[in-house]
């Protein structure tokens, strides 16, 4: 007897050590998972933060009538088509005289973005009296200057290893000395569509595209999903093989890889029904199929949680089954249904793969104005920008991710608040 107790006692220390070790592994794996999350978020924020600022250059532009070949009395067409980039070039040459060689001349021109000419054009058309005067304006700086101003280019590297050469540093130093370079909040990021020039590219087109796509998705998936959930919970006959099949299908659809939905969209919607490619309409149609299972499952749970006593009371007062559903069950289940819908929408907002199949990867500079305009959505914009080699695009990609995550966080917060506020325990 005492023998086996001794054996157990002798092993206790080892067993307790093992216990501690096991527990430690548990904590460690949890912490590793958290660490991944933190590293991920930190990298994105760290990379993307600077993109919310943008460098501007102040230039004194002489709006010479001779150079532009227009005068105050010219009609708008002439004003529109005048060569404004010439004046910009001229003002730069005036500020830095004696620049020689094609390469250096081009570099000089590339201090400001080519949007400077359009800015001047708009100002002149607005007020033709400016012609003949010298004005100082702030223009968008070119992406290389911007990247340097944010401290991402080391000027101590050997010259052939960096994007900005020594002669350019002379100019930049002079500009800084004269307070002609300034970092401001990047409004371009939110007011422009996509562009090949990093400094001019913005998210507005993608945000609007996402908005229209989500609108189509919501308008289609919400009614269909609620109707399907209500049917399955309240009307469907028990042990019917059709109903079983519907349920199995819903569960399977929830697990089908998203890219397969893209194939469906391409083969059926686009090639068979001729829905136009690259539009929020086709994007919404595809995403609807993906969000349906999520909303159906959440809605069924919400409808199921409405106590039968309420329904029975309504039936007792002479309501028909459909009346009970629309007047009692659905209003009571609505908070749960809405929570599920918002979560489904958040998933759809972050979805990329199926949209690549249906042509939403096209380069679209225009901001879409409806569900039939070519558009792209935020996650696809992120994908497109991440593919661009320019350094400034990396920064903007991270900023776009931050904007997307902000939308997702907001949606999930709304869902949580909604649940907290309206959740009823029966």
Partner 1 sequence: MPTQTIIITLIALLIFSYFLGQKRSIAVSSINNGRRDLHSRPHYYGYMVAIWAGIPAVLILLLWTAFNNSIVTSLTISTLPESMQTQSKDSLGLVVNELRNLADSGQIADEADPIKREAASHYQRLQGISKLAKTVIVLVVALLGMIYAWRLINPELRARNVVEKVIRVAMILCACIAILSTVGIVFSVLFESIRFFEAVPPSDFLFGTKWSPQTSIRSDQVGSSGSFGAIPLFVGTLLISTIALVIAVPLGLMSAIYLSEYASKSVRAFAKPTLEILAGIPTVVYGFFAALTVAPFLRDLGESIGLSVASESALAAGLVMGIMIIPFVSSLSDDVISAVPQAMRDGSYGMGATKSETIRQVIIPAALPGIVGGILLAASRAIGETMIVVMAAGLSAKLTINPLEAVTTVTVQIVTLLTGDQEFDSPKTLAAFALGLGLFVITLLLNIVALHIIRKYREQYE
| Ranges within 58-87 binding partner 1 (CB under 8 A) | none
Of 7, 8, 365, 413, which one interacts with partner 1 (CB under 8 A)? 8
Asked whether the beta carbons of 397 and 383 are under 8 A apart, the reply is no
Of 93, 110, 386, 388, which one interacts with partner 1 (CB under 8 A)? 386
Nearer CB in complex with partner 1: 133/331 = 331
Strand order in the sheet with 134-140: 134-140, 53-62, 181-185
CA dihedral 21, 26, 27, 33 (to 10 degrees): 140
Nearer CB in complex with partner 1: 154/255 = 255
Asked whether the beta carbons of 333 and 419 are under 8 A apart, the reply is no
Asked whether the beta carbons of 181 and 57 are under 8 A apart, the reply is yes
Q: How many residues bind partner 1 (CB under 8 A)?
A: 86
Sketch the per residue contact string, 336 through 355, with partner 1: x for CB under 8 A, - otherwise.
----------x--xxxxx--
Asked whether the beta carbons of 254 and 225 are under 8 A apart, the reply is no
- Residue 404 as a binder of partner 1 (CB under 8 A): the answer is yes
Nearer CB in complex with partner 1: 173/387 = 387
Of 299, 329, 376, 397, which one interacts with partner 1 (CB under 8 A)? 397
Across 384-408, b (16+ Cβ under 10 Å) vs e yields bbeeeebbbbbbbbbbbbbbbeebb
Of 118, 190, 235, 422, which one interacts with partner 1 (CB under 8 A)? 235
Of 78, 176, 256, 410, which one interacts with partner 1 (CB under 8 A)? 256
- Residue 369 as a binder of partner 1 (CB under 8 A): the answer is no
Asked whether the beta carbons of 232 and 247 are under 8 A apart, the reply is yes
- Residue 364 as a binder of partner 1 (CB under 8 A): the answer is no
Nearer CB in complex with partner 1: 259/365 = 259
Asked whether the beta carbons of 57 and 145 are under 8 A apart, the reply is yes
What residues from 289 to 328 belong to the interface with partner 1 (CB under 8 A)? 289, 292-293, 296, 320-322
Residue range at the interface with partner 1 (CB under 8 A); choices 42-50, 116-124, 149-157, 177-185: 42-50
- Residue recorded with tokens 């349920």: 247
Asked whether the beta carbons of 361 and 375 are under 8 A apart, the reply is no
- Residue 267 as a binder of partner 1 (CB under 8 A): the answer is yes
- Residue recorded with tokens 């695009």: 393
Residue range at the interface with partner 1 (CB under 8 A); choices 61-69, 113-121, 151-159, 231-239: 231-239
Of 6, 7, 9, 15, which one interacts with partner 1 (CB under 8 A)? 15
- Residue 401 as a binder of partner 1 (CB under 8 A): the answer is yes
Residue range at the interface with partner 1 (CB under 8 A); choices 24-32, 64-72, 108-116, 157-165: 24-32
Cβ partners under 8 Å of residue 338, min gap 6 = 415, 418
Residue range at the interface with partner 1 (CB under 8 A); choices 150-158, 171-179, 327-335, 390-398: 390-398
Distance CA 391, CA 57 (A): 20
What residues from 109 to 168 belong to the interface with partner 1 (CB under 8 A)? none
Of 1, 10, 255, 317, which one interacts with partner 1 (CB under 8 A)? 255
Residue range at the interface with partner 1 (CB under 8 A); choices 35-43, 87-95, 135-143, 167-175: 35-43
List, in sequence order, every beta strand (DSSP E) within 126-233. Answer: 134-140, 181-185
Q: Would you call 91 exposed, middle or buried from its count of C-beta atoms within 10 A (0-12, 13-18, 19+)?
A: buried
DSSP output for 206-254: HHHHHHHHHHHHHHHHHHHHHHHHHIIIIISPTT-HHHHHHHHHHHHHT
What residues from 205 to 224 belong to the interface with partner 1 (CB under 8 A)? 223-224
């Amino acid at each position: 007897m005492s023998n086996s107790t001794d054996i157990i006692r002798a092993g206790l220390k080892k067993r307790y050590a093992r216990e501690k070790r096991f527990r430690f592994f548990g904590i460690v794996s949890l912490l590793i998972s958290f660490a991944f999350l933190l590293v991920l978020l930190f990298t994105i924020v760290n990379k993307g933060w600077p993109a919310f600022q943008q460098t501007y250059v102040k230039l004194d532009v002489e709006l010479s009538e001779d150079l532009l070949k227009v005068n105050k009395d010219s009609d708008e067409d002439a004003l529109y088509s005048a060569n404004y980039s010439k004046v910009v070039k001229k003002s730069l040459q005036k500020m830095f005289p004696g620049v020689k060689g094609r390469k250096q001349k081009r570099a000089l021109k590339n201090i400001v973005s080519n949007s400077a000419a359009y800015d001047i054009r708009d100002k002149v058309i607005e007020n033709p009296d400016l012609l003949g005067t010298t004005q100082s304006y702030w223009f968008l700086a070119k992406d290389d200057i911007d990247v340097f101003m944010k401290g991402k280019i080391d000027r101590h590297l050997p010259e052939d290893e960096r994007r900005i050469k020594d002669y350019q540093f002379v100019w930049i130093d002079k500009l800084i000395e004269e307070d002609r370079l300034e970092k401001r909040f990047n409004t371009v990021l939110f007011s422009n569509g996509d562009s090949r020039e990093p400094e001019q590219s913005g998210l507005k087109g993608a945000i609007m595209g996402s908005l229209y796509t989500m609108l189509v998705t919501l308008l289609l998936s919400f009614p269909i999903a609620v109707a399907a959930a209500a049917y399955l919970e309240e009307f469907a006959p028990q042990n019917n093989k059709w109903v079983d099949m519907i349920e199995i299908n819903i569960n399977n659809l929830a697990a089908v890889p998203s890219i397969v939905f893209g194939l469906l969209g391409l083969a059926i919607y686009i090639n068979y029904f001729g829905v136009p490619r690259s539009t929020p309409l086709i994007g919404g149609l595809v995403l609807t199929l993906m969000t349906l299972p999520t909303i159906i499952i959440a809605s069924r749970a919400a409808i199921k949680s409405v106590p039968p006593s309420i329904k029975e009371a309504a039936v007792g007062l002479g309501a028909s089954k459909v009346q009970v559903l629309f007047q009692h069950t659905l209003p009571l289940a609505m908070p749960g249904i809405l929570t599920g819908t918002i979560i489904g929408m958040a998933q759809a907002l972050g979805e990329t793969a199926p949209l690549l199949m249906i042509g939403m990867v096209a380069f679209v500079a225009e901001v879409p104005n409806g569900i039939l305009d070519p558009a792209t959505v935020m996650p696809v914009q992120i994908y497109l920008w991440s593919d661009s080699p320019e350094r400034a695009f990396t920064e903007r990609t991270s900023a776009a991710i931050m904007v997307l995550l902000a939308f997702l966080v907001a949606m999930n917060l709304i869902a949580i608040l909604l649940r907290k506020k309206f959740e009823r325990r029966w």
